[in-house]
Structure 1
């Protein structure tokens, strides 16, 4: 749980209401009794005014709480109804009446008249049964009003400084949303216009509960062009993000709040900061890619997320709740002279093409860049038996129309949960790395069962024991490297040791070929007719090529 500094703590309600005034000790000493307007006790009070005359039209400006001893009510309270009416018409928000036996005249009759008049009005009227000093009430209330105004100004200044600093620091969306949640003290979600979650901070709420059926729930909350609560089943506080006419999302606080006004101020400032961030170079798709990449990276590391929470967060990013999930990695081939920028552009182009194919195939996936030149994906499949045909369709369509396929696709083991499938991304990445070493790619995608010995050696290529074995096997033509001899050995092994088959390729004339093979045997110190020798040499050659030797 984050420790929130005092300057960023959620704002306390700054509204001085009639209810707050009624709880003051100086008022409680008067033994107050609310006679009417119970539902309006939360009305803000702008000022307190003491009067004994009903002629208040020119004395009040609106929002005042009136204090009176009822001297203007007339004999037995005959004029109390007119007095209350004039006070209300003048703009007051409520009235406190002090009627004390032994002090007020005909107090019982006046109290009865006040009760009857108040019962006919939808207006806060309170009766004080004991004497109080009105000057004490006005002093306390006025001090509170000034204090609240200063607190509101300080709060506004703090919010302004926080978001100004975030803009100057080029803070990312996650940081902006996180600080917003801390300032409000409630969960905050940034979504795009398709209701996919770009960033969120659950505050003290369970994350799975917060994002459960997010898109479905969010669609029921109408969009607004300004900060406020949208109409619909769930009237969430929201603010649009983006310039007018080009809205690309919204910030929402899903739930009730103690102080909508303070939260709205924070939310609006956060929306402006996010809009500025986008204008500075980050677009909507980039935010979605970033959010998806963040979750995939989190799932590949040690984490404490439950399977249900992973599914909920994945669904909020567009992945459907299906029966089967498959980890896939696409690895771009390295081009000579390729710059990091050029590789990044190729990666983005491939990702966009992949997303277009997924969309046309009506397939859903959690896909994003894993690292430079590598795209990871957890693909949703409605049934396990449909995994193979769906992968075939996606990657054949992706390669269609391409002048040359310059990427490799590795597929890991499918699983019944997103969490388990994501663990297979490392396996898929290893397969893609192996396939990248193939001269030709006969399949649109590969699994470990497809790469076989080549794959095993790829996993062990960093093992010093394999290195020592391979170098010992090829020592006769590696010190120094003899490219012609290495090429001859590789072709011979590729033809299964069949000299006649190799000769028929036209590589060399038959006499010349036999002579060179005898010389190769002498240099290697083994018989090429021996099956075990050929197997050992084949393993050594595979290792040699896998380590980038051409």
Structure 2
């Protein structure tokens, strides 16, 4: 078992300091390659990458902005996480760190009680030297009794339990449909459905899977069974049954008042399948469909890739994880399954949607309803929705389909006047075909060549764009800009006399229109 942030936090040395995970709990399985103590965020040349940074916060004050800059600099240095332990109470500084951590994309950990850094380093060295990792029911029991288990999400709790059991672990809903799985091999996946039918509807009891005995334990929330944990029987441990019961109890406690968490958990795992297909992981379409089928996806005749493009507002932060969560809950009420995932890398402003239709008859109805739901959840945000061609192949829908939908959504977002509906390729006109050009060196050079002379004349640029959008119709332009005809003709003369642009020339108008469209795509 590699030395991860999670494993380090589970150690008694850190447990007794009551660690609080302030951000990115889903990255606790990242490896820790080393430990470095730092009070300055300038770590250039001091770390190699993947280190856990220990900090006592001496360089910080109650400024959230300062804490944000400090942590951003640490993340850029390549650190895997930062851990704060204060010499004094410093309530104001801790409050600033909590606020700043909300926008971080790597783990930020705050120790409630003071910890000696030398002890943490010694613990790290001891764990690094250990070649035999402790696994099994006893390790799971120790984890479940630790403060870390209380703070983790349902997904992280199950992942850690599966890792410590070192055996497959499954969570089903009350209808025996899989919500979570970790560790199932491909052959086991194929046999799982048939094996489960022998004990379907039972809360306890065992069944045979590939020659191995499996057991199940109910998950109860407020007196109601909401699902069951299923895993192979651990014969070597007399404590296995009590540990499995304890895991079910802890899970049930986390789900109190959060019945929607199970639906969201299943969506997380389905989105992982799409992410793996997009990343080029060696997985066949047959295996991907099998995994989705285990999570309850029905037979699908057509797949419609779509993307919501939502740039981060300049005046406030955007909680993308919260938005994805709301969209999953809202789209979960549609009559067809929709796999929803947050984009990453160059597509971090995108939320991918994969509509899984049993037939093509209702596709437009479903897409229109989805647009209305997205409109409700996005509120006053600037956003657009692109829909690419229907696919029969899951792999093609996940790769080319979602990429095309993203380009369509970006293209729509660059338009001055947009309709309140989703966009397909024919709705964008030439903006669809110039997408690849927008991010190329040639495209940027063309924009500079055409628009550089006018860069200090923003009002004139706006006038030219309005003129081109009005296709030279002076009456329409006069109404849209609230300018008199003489004023419009005066500006056109100035454009020609000062900048040498002949607006009567079709080539000039086409070049300017293309350059303006590209410039909008460059800033979307």
TM range (shorter): 0.5 to 0.7
Q: 1 CA distance for matches of 2:136 and 2:520?
A: 66
1:323 correspondence with 2:301: yes
Structure 2 residue matching 1:378: 3-state secondary structure: strand
How far off its partner does 1:294 sit? 2.5
1:468 corresponding residue in structure 2: 445
Q: Quote the offset at 1:244 in angstroms.
A: 5.0
Tell me which of 187, 197, 200 is aligned to 1:221: 200
CA distance in 2, matches of 1:184, 1:444: 49
* Other-structure match for 1:237: 215
Structure 1 residues 347 and 266: CA distance shift in structure 2, 3 A: closer
2:262 pairs with 1:284 = yes
Instruction: Label 1:273 to 1:404 Cα distance change in 2 as closer, same or farther (>3 A).
Output: closer
List runs of 5+ in structure 1 lacking aligned partners. 4-153
Picking from 507, 521, 524, the partner of 2:496 is 521
Contact 1:378 1:418 in 2 (8 A): no
> Are positions 1:274 and 2:251 aligned together?
yes
Over 3 Å counting, the alpha-carbon distance change for 1:416 and 1:250 in structure 2 is same
Instruction: Determine whether 1:193 maps to 2:135.
Output: no
**Cα distance, 1:489 vs. partner?**
0.8
- Greater shift in the superposed pair: 499-508 or 372-381: 499-508
Any conservation in 1 of the 2:501–2:508 contact (CA below 8 Å)?
yes
1:355 equivalent in alignment to 2:336: no
SS at match of 2:229: strand
What is the TM-score when the length of structure 1 is the normalising length? Answer: 0.59
* Alignment correspondent of 1:541: 516
**CA deviation profile, 1:110-141 (whole Å, cap 9, x unmatched):** xxxxxxxxxxxxxxxxxxxxxxxxxxxxxxxx
Instruction: Let me know the Cα RMSD of the aligned residues.
Output: 4.0
Separation in 1 of the partners of 2:441 and 2:343?
A: 28
Residues 190 and 251 in structure 1, CA contact (< 8 A), matched pair in contact too: yes
Which residue among 382, 387, 390 is the counterpart of 1:414?
390
Q: Which residue of structure 1 lines up, in the alignment, with residue 38 of structure 2?
A: none
Q: Structure 2 CA distance, aligned partners of 1:538 and 1:443?
A: 24
Structure 1 residues 506 and 159: alpha-carbon distance in aligned structure 2, compared to 1, 3 A threshold? closer
Partner of 2:371: 395
Q: Distance in 1 between matches of 2:489 and 2:299?
A: 63
Q: Give per-residue Cα distances to partners, 1:445-471, cap 9 Å, x unaligned.
A: 122333232234444323222122122
Give the CA deviation at 1:245. 1.0
Alignment partner of 2:187 out of 202, 206, 218: 206
1:401-424: per-residue Cα shift (whole Å, max 9, x none)? Answer: 997685321223322132332122
Which one of 431, 435, 438 corresponds to residue 454 of structure 1? 431
User: Shift of residue 517 of structure 1?
Assistant: 0.4
Residue 83 of structure 2 is matched in structure 1 by none
**TM-score computed with the length of structure 2 as normaliser:** 0.62
CA shift digits 1:333-381 (9 cap, x unpaired): 544422234x54444333322222x1xxx21222244456643222112
Q: Give the match's secondary structure for 1:486.
A: helix
Partner of 1:297 in structure 2? Answer: 275
Query: 2:412 matched to which residue of 1?
Result: 435
Describe the shift of the 1:493–1:243 C-alpha distance in structure 2 as closer, same or farther (beyond 3 A).
closer
Aligned to 1:306: 284
**Alignment partner of 1:248 is 2:223:** no
Task: Answer yes or no: is the 8 Å Cα contact 1:189–1:200 preserved in 2.
Answer: yes
1:160 aligned onto 2:135: no
